[in-house]
Structure 1
Amino acid sequence: MILSMSGVVLLGIIVFLFFRKDGLKASHAFVSALFGFFLAGTAIAPSITAGTTSLAGLLGGIKF
């Protein structure tokens, strides 16, 4: 749950920055949000979740 919430916050910040800096139109952001909402209800959603979880684990395991 924490990973998904932080992912939502991170993606929200990225969309906001695109909207402010790169000229992302509100209609594009709305369509992207709808796409994500409907994608979450498909059969591929568990695969996406597993992939992002494993990527987060990989990035979390990097030692500098």
Structure 2
Amino acid sequence: MNVTISVALVTGVVTVVLVWTKRVGIGTALIVWLSGLTAASTGLAGPVNDMLGAIVTAVSHH
């Protein structure tokens, strides 16, 4: 559990730093943050994966 929380926290901090230094935009930061939650296998990983799958499906059908 500690590793999962640490990975999620590190991903969040990295995302904030990237936005603050204007290396990435808000959209990219959101993708980085969501990917970090998925990679960390937090409790949000399932819903995040479902949401990303729905987005990919919606984009591929248009």
By relative contact order (CA 8 Å, sep 6+), the higher-ranking structure is 2
Q: Which has the larger radius of gyration?
A: 1
TM-score (norm 1): 0.47
TM-score by length of 2: 0.49
